[in-house]
Every structure is written in structure tokens, then in C-alpha cells.
Structure 1
Amino acid sequence: MTHRFPIKEIAVQSGLSTATVDRVLNDRAHVSPQTRLRVADAIAELERQESQLAAKGRRVFIDVVIEAPRRFSREVREAGEAVLADLKPIAVRSRFQTFETMTPETCVALLNRIRKRGSQGVCLKARDTPEIRNAIADLNRKHIPVVTIFTDIPASERIAYAGLDNFNAGRTAAYLMLNLIGSQASTVLTTLSQHAFQGEEDRYRGFRKELSRLRPDIDVLDASGGGGLNLATGREVADRVRHKQEIAGVYSMGGGNVAILNALDAAAVRPSAFIAHDLDEDNLELLKANRLSLVLHHDLKADMLSAYRLILAYHGLGSSPRFPTSDISIITPMNIPAAISGPMKSSRD
């Protein structure tokens, strides 16, 4: 495995011992594929964050733990690494661990490893469960602050939340939906990746509340539970729409929109409006093809910068951001930001 970094730096970045890293680098036996991958990922992170290695000043390690489809985790990683230079003279190093699906037990085990290994803070996107809330409390007792990102765990001992105001985003989606589908509409389809993600659940509650207030006659057909992954989300939608061809609109809160559209096409369902979240690669491509009506977008770089600054402020290194909650931007095929409207990469879950 080619690299130019000291073993100690790779060990710190990966969270492994120097002996384990040495075994991986020298291709010795009795090393699991997962451990080899962690070392490879750590080297890749060091390459991307090389300017932080040479930065003078206090060095701070922040762990970022995310359960989300790869397409979204990739966007978050790029955003999180892009803003590290904005935190100078503090030399912040981020260590990402991302999973498409992660059971509460897996998440707790990972947070416990971080607690035992040590960290200056954790940015966490995970489900809101009692086990995970307890793990956050354990980190807090070790003076390792947790900032929830993109989806909150409000009853936990996290120090703050950074990301979109999800309840208001859902209300906004309902207002926009009703202006797109017309007065004769009778049914809209909603999808979440998991109801256990508090952020998506807040979007759903906001959407349902505003829709009920403005148009109580409209039925909501929920097709949630696919984890935002194309295959599973497509199955959920196909099961719900098989005999329901009068769907007027779709509000997708958790992704998997390529699969949602494929399932709708297969069932000959032609909604007049499709509202989605986040400008990931899939959604940009779908916007350009006019398959999405609009995307509710928030600036991931601003979110990650806020999360990092909240952790630094906890340690007395600067002040907290005044507004850690993101504003909503409404992106249509007509106003795709020029900075992110370049050629698309291949679509992946």
C-alpha cells in the first residue's frame, strides 16, 4: 500500500494501533479486510487533508459518523474537508466513518470505540434510539461533545444540532406541492428512508400538518422504509402504487429518487409534481432531465463548518455560530447553481 505518511499519523487518522497499521502496510497475515479498508481510507483522508498536517497551532481531531446512502455521505465528506482551511490557525483533522445502513448496536459500538480512543468531538448523523442516546451521554461524560448533523437527536445530551430546519422544510414542501398539483388532486406519495431518523420524521410531520391545514381532503400514501437506497426504496414504492394511478405529487424526504421514478414509470403513474431534498449527483441529473419539479437544498459546507465551530467553541477555541440551522434554498431546473452544475459522475446508491 503506497503512502508517504508516518505510521503514527496513519494510526491516529484510522483509530488503529501503530502495530496494526504496520501489519497492514507490510501485508502481513491475520488482518481483516475491514481493517485494511480503514487503513486505506485513512491514507486517502491524509492525502486530502495534507495541508492540515503542516498547519501550525493546536491540533484537533473530530470524528464524523454518518448513516446514509453513499451518494449523500460522499457529499458530506467533500463538504467537511473543504471547510477545514476556514478553521485555521486551529489544525482540525476530520475522521470519517460512513455506513449505508447501521444498526443501533453497530453505532453504539463505534461511538464507544471513539470514547475509549479519544476525540475532541463527534459529528453524528444517526437514528434517534435509546441506545444511541445513552452512547452520546457516555461521550459527554468523557468531555467529548457531540453535534448532531442533518438529523437531530433532541432528547440526547448532544450539545447542538447543525443542519436544515426539517420541520419548516416539510411545511415549505406542502405549500409548494399544493401550488403545483392543482385543486383536483386527491393523493400525494411520501417517502422517508427511515422513520427513526428524526430529521426526516420532522419533515414528514411538517408536511402532514401544513397539508392537513390547507387541504384536508388530500390523502397521503406513505412508502417509507427503503433507507434511501435505490433497490429497497423502489420496492417500497412499487408495493404502494401498484393499484393507485391517480397520485398527483411525490414528496421524497430520504432519497432513492431514481428508483422512485422507475417504480412510478412501471406502474404508469405520472405525478404532476415531484419534490426532493439535497443536490446530490442523482438529483442534479434528474433536475436537468426535468424529472424533478424542485429540490429543497441546504449548504452542506455551511452545515459542517457550523458543526466544527460548535465543537471548537465547547473547548474554548472560538465562538459558536449564531445560526447553526440552515436556510432552505428552492432549486428548480431553471436555477441550478453554476458552481455545481458540471458533468455528472456515474450514479450510485
Structure 2
Amino acid sequence: MTHRFPIKEIARQSGLGTATVDRVLNDRAHVSPQTRARVEAALAELEAQERQLSARGRRMFVDVVVEAPHRFSRQVRAACEAVLPDVTEAVYRPRFLLRETMTEDEIVAALARIKKRGSQGIILKARDVSTVAGAVKDLEAAGIPVVTLVTDIPQSDRSAYVGIDNTKAGFTAAYLLANLLPEPTGTVLTSRSQETFQGEAERFFSFREQFLSLRPNYEVLEVTGGAGLSMKTKRRFVEGLENVASVDAVYSMGGGNRAILDALKDTGFAPRHFIAHDLDADNLSLLTQGEIGFVLHHDLHHDMRQALRAVSARHGLFPKTDLQLLSDVQIITPYNIPGLIG
């Protein structure tokens, strides 16, 4: 395998041992496809980082750990790589661990591995559970700052939260639907991918509180689960709609919206209004096709700049930042889609 980087550097980037990297590079036996793919990815990342080495500053590794469907984690990676040249106080070398689903034990084990091999910072999208919060506390105590992204772990002593203001997002969705729905009574269906994502919980509880204060005779029905993945989400919705008489609108906080729409069609429902989150490829297509009416969006490029600078601040390379770096809630319709989707 052709390369121009020291084996130790490739090993640090990939998170593998030098002996393992040497076996891959020299095409020796007993190397799994997954290991080979990690080395290939590390080489591609090093080549990309080399292109921004003209920036003068300290070289720092940052680990981006995300539990989310690929449609969203791809956006996170693209946004991170796009803003690297903008962050001039250090030359950041990102390492990505992007998984559609991870158990609590898998998340904790991944964070422990990062702690063991060393890192200058972690950008983390994970569940708000005690085991993960404990792992984050351990990392912070070891001098590795953790910045939570789009969903917070507030009891974890993380260095900062970066992302959309989830409470405002819930209030915004409530205001929109309360003014769009003409009938005095009805049912609004809400969807969360998981109960343990704190950001989605904030959206749900603020939405329900505000919507019912404006439309007290409506019912807010909740369906949770599916992790935003198509088959799992559709199955959860088909089950959740079995004893429902009508659905007038949908507020989807966790994605999987094609699957939600398919489940609604299969069970005979055609809600007038559908509010989703994030301009990923699926939602962009559904929005332009008229399948959903509004997307509550935030600028991931801005978020990633903020996250990297929060890490820099912990190392004394940037002025001290706030513990919460909140993004504005943008209401996107088919007529004001941003020209650049991260």
C-alpha cells in the first residue's frame, strides 16, 4: 500500500498498533477487511490534513464520536473537514468513529480506548446515561476536553455543549402547528429516535408544554424508538398507530421520516402538516417533493467551528468559551433552502 507517512503516525490516526499497521501496509496475512479499511481511512485522513498544514499552529488530534444514522453522521464529518482551514490556532487532525447504533457499553469502551491512546479533545454525540456521563467525567479529569454535539450530557462535566437550542426548537414547532391546524380538536403525532438522547427529550417536552397551552383540546401522541433507521422506525410506527383514530400533524424529532411517512400511508393516515429536523439528504428530498412542510435546521459548519474552538480554549489556544454554544433555529421551507447543505 503506497504511503508517505511514518507508521507511528498512521497508527495514531487509525487507533491501531504499529505492528498491525505494518502488516496492512506490507499486505501480510491475517489482516481483517475491517482493519485494512481503518488503515486506508487513516491514510486518506492524513492526506486531507496535509493539505491544511500551511496553517501555523499546534498539531492536535480530535476524536469525533457520533451515534446517528449515516445520513446525519456524513453531514457531521463533511462539516468538520470543511471548517478545518478556518480554525487557525491549531492544526486539527480529526479521527472519526461514526456508528448508526451503539450500546452504552460500546460507547463507554470507545471512550476508554480514546483515553488510553491519548487525544487533545472529543466531539461527542451520545446518549445521556449515567455510564456515559461517568466516562466523560473520567476523560475531563484526564485532561481530555469533551464537547457534546447537538444532544447534551449535562451532568457529565463536559467542557461545552454545541448545537441547536433544542428547547427553542420544540417551542418553534409548537407555535407553527398551533397556528396551522384549523380544527379545535385533533391529534399530533410526535417521534423520537431514542428516549436517552437529551436533545430530543428537550424538544419533546418543550413542544408538548407549549402546544397544549395553545391547543388544550388536542392530544399529543408519542412514538419512540427505531434509532432513526428505516426498518426499525417503520415497525415502531405501524405498532404505535394500531389504536389511533386520526393524525392531523407530525413533529419528528429523530429522523427516519421516509419510514414514518410510509407507515402513515400503510395505516391510512394523511396528516396535513409534517415538521422535521435537519437538512440531511432524505429531508431535503422530502421537502422539495412536498412530503414534509418544514425543516427545523441549524448550521453544522458553525457548530463544528464552535466545537473545535471550545477544545482549543481548554488548551489555552483560544479565549474561554461559554458552556453552551447554541445555534439559531432556522425554519426551512421549499422556498428558502440554503445554497450549501453540509
User: Which one-letter code corresponds to 2:195 in the other structure?
Assistant: H
Residue 325 of structure 2 corresponds to: 324
Return closer, same or farther for 1:114/1:340 CA change in 2, 3 Å cut-off.
closer
Q: Secondary structure at the match of 1:83?
A: helix
Residue 305 of structure 2 corresponds to: 305
- Partner Cα separation in structure 2 for residue 83 and residue 102 of structure 1: 27
Residue 344 of structure 1 corresponds to: none
Return closer, same or farther for 1:18/1:159 CA change in 2, 3 Å cut-off.
same
Return closer, same or farther for 1:180/1:275 CA change in 2, 3 Å cut-off.
same
Unmatched tracts of structure 1, length 5 or more:
342-349
Residue 73 of structure 2 corresponds to: 73
Asked if residue 286 in structure 1 is aligned to residue 286 in structure 2, the reply is yes
Residue 345 of structure 1 corresponds to: none
* Structure 1 residue 89, shift from structure 2 partner: 4.6
User: Which one-letter code corresponds to 1:331 in the other structure?
Assistant: I
Structure 1, 120-129 or 42-51: larger mean CA deviation: 42-51
Q: Secondary structure at the match of 2:155?
A: coil
Asked if residue 247 in structure 1 is aligned to residue 242 in structure 2, the reply is no
- Partner Cα separation in structure 1 for residue 2 and residue 255 of structure 2: 36
User: Which one-letter code corresponds to 2:244 in the other structure?
Assistant: K
- Partner Cα separation in structure 2 for residue 294 and residue 3 of structure 1: 46
- Partner Cα separation in structure 2 for residue 77 and residue 295 of structure 1: 21
- Partner Cα separation in structure 1 for residue 64 and residue 100 of structure 2: 14
Listed one character per residue, the Cα deviations across residues 26-68 of structure 1 (whole Å, up to 9, x for unaligned) are 2323333332222122123223333234544310111110000
User: Which one-letter code corresponds to 1:265 in the other structure?
Assistant: K
TM-score of the pair, normalised by structure 2 = 0.95
Structure 1, 228-237 or 16-25: larger mean CA deviation: 16-25
- Partner Cα separation in structure 2 for residue 320 and residue 309 of structure 1: 9
Residue 176 of structure 1 corresponds to: 176
* Structure 1 residue 199, shift from structure 2 partner: 0.5
Asked if residue 33 in structure 1 is aligned to residue 36 in structure 2, the reply is no
Unmatched tracts of structure 2, length 5 or more:
none
Residue 346 of structure 1 corresponds to: none
Structure 1, 322-331 or 261-270: larger mean CA deviation: 322-331
- Partner Cα separation in structure 2 for residue 53 and residue 6 of structure 1: 16
Residue 126 of structure 2 corresponds to: 126
- Partner Cα separation in structure 2 for residue 40 and residue 185 of structure 1: 57
Listed one character per residue, the Cα deviations across residues 62-85 of structure 1 (whole Å, up to 9, x for unaligned) are 111000000000000000111110
- Partner Cα separation in structure 2 for residue 202 and residue 147 of structure 1: 18
User: Which one-letter code corresponds to 2:332 in the other structure?
Assistant: I
Return closer, same or farther for 1:3/1:281 CA change in 2, 3 Å cut-off.
farther
Structure 1, 17-26 or 110-119: larger mean CA deviation: 17-26
Q: Secondary structure at the match of 1:291?
A: coil
Listed one character per residue, the Cα deviations across residues 67-111 of structure 1 (whole Å, up to 9, x for unaligned) are 000000000000011111011252111111011000110011110
Does the 8 Å contact 2:89/2:318 carry over to 1? no
Asked if residue 334 in structure 1 is aligned to residue 335 in structure 2, the reply is yes
- Partner Cα separation in structure 1 for residue 50 and residue 259 of structure 2: 38
Q: Secondary structure at the match of 1:270?
A: coil
Listed one character per residue, the Cα deviations across residues 308-342 of structure 1 (whole Å, up to 9, x for unaligned) are 1011001000124567110000000111122349x
* Structure 1 residue 3, shift from structure 2 partner: 4.0
Residue 17 of structure 1 corresponds to: 17
User: Which one-letter code corresponds to 1:132 in the other structure?
Assistant: V
- Partner Cα separation in structure 1 for residue 164 and residue 189 of structure 2: 22
Q: Secondary structure at the match of 1:338?
A: coil
- Partner Cα separation in structure 2 for residue 259 and residue 193 of structure 1: 12
Q: Secondary structure at the match of 1:119?
A: coil
Structure 1, 292-301 or 18-27: larger mean CA deviation: 18-27
User: Which one-letter code corresponds to 2:32 in the other structure?
Assistant: S
CA RMSD between the two structures: 1.7
Q: Secondary structure at the match of 2:154?
A: coil
Residue 95 of structure 2 corresponds to: 95
- Partner Cα separation in structure 2 for residue 205 and residue 11 of structure 1: 44
* Structure 1 residue 22, shift from structure 2 partner: 1.1
- Partner Cα separation in structure 1 for residue 89 and residue 184 of structure 2: 58
Does the 8 Å contact 1:170/1:207 carry over to 2? yes
Number of aligned residue pairs: 341
TM-score of the pair, normalised by structure 1 = 0.93
Return closer, same or farther for 1:226/1:248 CA change in 2, 3 Å cut-off.
same
Residue 314 of structure 1 corresponds to: 314
- Partner Cα separation in structure 1 for residue 287 and residue 10 of structure 2: 40
Does the 8 Å contact 1:245/1:269 carry over to 2? no
Q: Secondary structure at the match of 1:200?
A: helix
Structure 1, 212-221 or 247-256: larger mean CA deviation: 212-221
Structure 1, 326-335 or 47-56: larger mean CA deviation: 47-56
